[in-house]
Chain A
Amino acid sequence: MNTLIELRHIKKIFNKEGDQELLVLDNISFDVREGEIIALLGRSGCGKSTLLRVIAGLIQSNSGQVRFKGKTVTQPAPGITMVFQHFALMPWLTVLQNVELGLEALGTPKKERRGRALKAIDMIGLDGFESAFPKELSGGMRQRVGIARALVVEPDVLLMDEPFSSLDVLTADNLRNDILDLWLKNPQRKNSIVLVTHNIEEAMFLADRAIVFDSNPATIRGILNINLPHPRDEQSPEFRKLVDQVYMLMTTEKMPLPQEEEIDLGYRLPDANISELAGLMEILAEEFPDKPIDLPHIADELSLNIDDLFPLTEVLDILDFAEEADGDIKLTAAGKHFASADMLNRKKIFAKYLLANVPLAKYIYDALNKNEDHRIAKKYIAEKLEKSLSDSEIERVLGIITQWGRYAELFAYNDKSEEFNLENPE
């Protein structure tokens, strides 16, 4: 099989103002071969969409090389097209005009353009919608237009950036099946698909190979060959085994366990809000009080995808409310205590474990108590974090810590003066 795209040692650094840099992609190498579907799998924000844009030539890597059919990619190349997460259709063009867009750019004569566009529209199941505007269509239909637009130029490589993640479950399922059918109908597959997703089942369902990424920065954690024949049965034991394997890959080792890896001031607190944390603990306490439970099982049960679930489990782990290992999770005594407490006591328990386990919370709390006027500028805290976090990350992390601090009644934040304060100074 010929190789279409080669990635060699891709490294991407986002420059910030001043001298701080944020490493997003580190040393990524793999090949995309003719006729295969590759899934890039990782948690959202891990840099896989950035990687896709590097492949597309929309973003330049800082070092390393992307080669498409032997030629270095430095700008969008003919032969590579893309399907976007939020469709990126021109709202002022009809379905037909949107699909014609790529051909227009290639300078295809009008008559041929129209013919090819109509064929693509037929193929993707949009007949009858040619003169509709995108806003008249449902999300699923819009994404079909996005796909028709990408296919009409007959690309060698089709890049798909979380193409199903802004659709509801049923629509996504339906579109996935249709795309797979189209793919399988094509007898001698010369082209390939690179699919970015954070949905493990989706990757296992479509891909021939899945590349699993670590976060912060994105590095390749492992490459999984999926040799199941199409169409794949999502309930079959082989399929479930693959899914479990990926969960294991994604949760072990790199998850910072407090005992092994000291978390410091600049730790990237995951996005988790209190009511979700509390909800998860209640369910764990009620339904699986004593035995460790499979993460994929919980994800399935609560119909959460890994992007929703992982931050929650990570926080429970940091706070010592749960223990996580090998894709399993189990509540600790503290977690159970929290789950059974009433509203006011929960705040106290949360406050205690927050101070004990999250250095940033303790730092702010101590500083506030030390200061005479019990106030401290956000800027001051932000400066402390500057070394380890980017500006937007600082904003995010401080937002989360404020929310937790408020819930725990440890401290509050005044948006107008941009200061942390003790709500009730002692």
Chain B
Amino acid sequence: MKLRIWRNYQFSSWQPNVWDVIALLLVLSVIIMLAWAASQTSTPYHLGEALPISLNPKYLPGYALRSVFRILTGLFLSLIFTFVVGSAAAKNKHIERIAIPLIDILQSIPVLGFLSITIVMFIYLFPNSLWGPEWASIFMIFTAQAWNMCLGFYQSIKTIPYDLREASAMFQLSAWQRFWRLEVPFAMPSLMWNSMMSMSASWFFLVASEALTVNKQTIMLPGIGSYIGEAILHSNILAVSYAITTMLVVILLYDQLLFRPLLSWSEKFKMESTAGEKAEKSLLVRLLVKTHWLQNVVGSWLNAFCDAVVNFQITRRVKKPEHPQQMINRSATVLIYAWYITIATSSIVLMYFLIRFIFHTISTHEIFHVLLLGLYTSLRVIILISLASLVWVPIGVWIGLRPRATHIAQPIAQFFAAFPANLFFPIVVIVILKYHLNVNIWTTPLMILGTQWYILFNVIAGTTALPKDLVMVSQNFGLKKWLWWKRFILPGIFPYFITGAITAAGGAWNASIVAEVVSWGNYNLVADGLGAYIKQFTSLGDFPRIALGISMMCIYVLIFNRLIWQPLYNLAEKRFQIN
């Protein structure tokens, strides 16, 4: 066991060393670059005006920066959303009853679904400025990020050990202090994991969120997503390869600069009660460890700042005079009733308008057609998840049993998860056209491109978590081949596999909007499916049909969740949980 010995930093070196300079330069340049990206968004803009997107690679760094700025802003907003909604739902059962199912549904709405409605609002809010489309784009990125973060945070807060809650009550922590000292730290590992997943998801939908096609108009915001979109439009394979290279660099950079340092910092928030696990290493962390001035001076400023935030005086509990208990009860009851009545009325009104809106313009015949399209898409999801499981479960187990391979495979898979499906369009289109393949079948793999990795991640994680003595016992008894899979591995990783498959299936539904319509230059291949339906009518700006498509998708996803995933998940929890 290693022990850190307390040191008094007051007398240690104030002298900046060379590592300070390097680290400082690095940090400052990131800030300056992001500030530049932000300043670009405030240029005047009129609707209908075309923003030139150049395929010249020299613009790519600038584009990349602006995409990163959007994604980080989205992440920041998601974080605030997570803190506010997640903790409100965890602490108040009346909010919980509404918010959690609502987020569950929002999760199943593809990012495009939010576009058509919100962009009008944003353009109206910021007339004559690029802020309008810019915010619409950020909002779409936000919708690809926020939900899983919020649900993860909510679940973490719900599982805070009882004695830690009691301790913070006993020591009179205010709600604000409890939030920063107990709830956020406890949720940190889940928050980290979910924000990394969210980052990947927002890259995956980057083209859809930057090249906004609404009402037959296309607004292409400068960014990598638009660059890819433009390259596909002009069937410029060279530009696609530039985009791939840039993305690779950017993803590697933010992994090193943002996530690795955060991961190594968040090590201390893990609840394990034993020391000794090794921290994630990152170049930036290694650099920061070597600095003097940054660590001592800036570090202590940061500490003092955090301290001041947590102990912000106004937030301290003001002892209220004792109310008679009955009065509190009565006003609370009134409030609760008001809450439920508001929710009930607004959902009835919304339902009425939605149904009227849809049925007014759309025939029942078309509704049945959309129902059928949904069936096609669900068939795709089922087949893809089965195929992906057949491929990735054995590979994941193989990797998971070899610690060295795990270290190599994890970051690679993470990169692929972030890879926008659009980048594969050229390959798919060329292959389909060349061999005259069926569009309905051969565009399908694009759906699982981004999400199959969650099956792999989870299978690897499940295999590594298998108790070592069980691995040895199965060797000892000479369990072989199928018996080994059936009696040991498959039951052992089942809960992890299910978690991965649920995530993958949810992602596949969302990805149908980019997978069922594939274009390359003048070629436009459209498969029959719900995703294609939504995508087409979004570009046409046909609101009733967009609403119908999205509602249908939500219904399908919810039915899938309730009928297939929920029972499987319960089974995994009950029968196959080790310990």
Closest residue of chain A to B178, judged by CB?
A: A105
How distant is A93 from chain B, measured CB to nearest CB, in Å? 7
One digit per residue, 1 when the CB lies within 8 angstroms of any chain B CB and 0 when it does not, for chain A 92-106 equals 110010000110111
B residues adjacent to A (C-beta < 8 A) = 1-7, 161, 163-164, 166-174, 177, 181-182, 185-186, 188, 268-275, 307, 310-311, 313, 316
> Among B164, B174, B181, B272, which residue has its beta carbon within 8 angstroms of that of A135?
B272
CB-based contact A88/B174 at 8 Å: no
Closest residue of chain B to A121, judged by CB?
A: B6
A residues 64-101 touching B (CB-CB < 8 Å): 75-76, 78, 80-82, 84-93, 96, 101
A130 with B170, Cβ < 8 A, contacts A92-B188, A104-B177 known: no
> Among B2, B177, B307, which residue has its beta carbon within 8 angstroms of that of A105?
B177
Distance of A86 Cα from B170 Cα, bound (Å): 15
Distance of A78 Cα from B169 Cα, bound (Å): 11
A92 with B177, Cβ < 8 A, contacts A104-B310, A105-B172 known: no
Q: Does A327 contact B (CB under 8 A)?
A: no
CB-based contact A136/B1 at 8 Å: yes
Question: Can you report 13 residue pairs joining A to B where beta carbons are below 8 Å apart?
Answer: A76-B172, A84-B163, A86-B163, A88-B163, A101-B181, A104-B177, A104-B310, A105-B174, A105-B177, A106-B172, A131-B4, A131-B5, A135-B274
A135 with B275, Cβ < 8 A, contacts A82-B166, A92-B185, A106-B172 known: yes
Q: How many residues of A contact B (CB 8 A)?
A: 38
A105 with B169, Cβ < 8 A, contacts A110-B307, A135-B273 known: no
Chain B residues near A134 (CB, 8 Å)? Answer: 273
How distant is A79 from chain B, measured CB to nearest CB, in Å? 10
CB-based contact B171/A101 at 8 Å: yes
Distance of A107 Cα from B275 Cα, bound (Å): 32
A residues 338-389 touching B (CB-CB < 8 Å): none
Chain B residues near A133 (CB, 8 Å)? Answer: 4, 268, 275
CB-based contact A92/B269 at 8 Å: yes
Tell me the number of A-to-B contacts counted with CB atoms below 8 Å.
Answer: 96
Q: Does A407 contact B (CB under 8 A)?
A: no
CB-based contact A91/B6 at 8 Å: no
CB-based contact B182/A81 at 8 Å: no
A102 with B275, Cβ < 8 A, contacts A91-B269, A92-B185 known: no
A88 with B166, Cβ < 8 A, contacts A107-B311, A135-B275 known: yes
A84 with B313, Cβ < 8 A, contacts A92-B185, A105-B172, A135-B275 known: no
Distance of A107 Cα from B307 Cα, bound (Å): 12
> Among B164, B268, B270, which residue has its beta carbon within 8 angstroms of that of A88?
B164
CB-based contact A91/B167 at 8 Å: no
Closest residue of chain B to A96, judged by CB?
A: B6
Chain B residues near A130 (CB, 8 Å)? Answer: 6
Chain A residues near B310 (CB, 8 Å)? Answer: 104
Distance of A85 Cα from B161 Cα, bound (Å): 13
How distant is B478 from chain A, measured CB to nearest CB, in Å? 28
Closest residue of chain A to B4, judged by CB?
A: A131
CB-based contact B268/A91 at 8 Å: yes
CB-based contact A84/B166 at 8 Å: yes
Q: Does A153 contact B (CB under 8 A)?
A: yes
Chain B residues near A110 (CB, 8 Å)? Answer: 307, 311
> Among A53, A85, A87, A90, which residue has its beta carbon within 8 angstroms of that of B185?
A90
The 10 closest A-B pairs by CB, nearest first: A88-B163, A130-B6, A88-B167, A102-B171, A92-B185, A131-B6, A105-B172, A136-B275, A105-B173, A82-B170
CB-based contact A91/B173 at 8 Å: no
Distance of A129 Cα from B171 Cα, bound (Å): 22
Distance of A107 Cα from B173 Cα, bound (Å): 10
Distance of A80 Cα from B161 Cα, bound (Å): 21
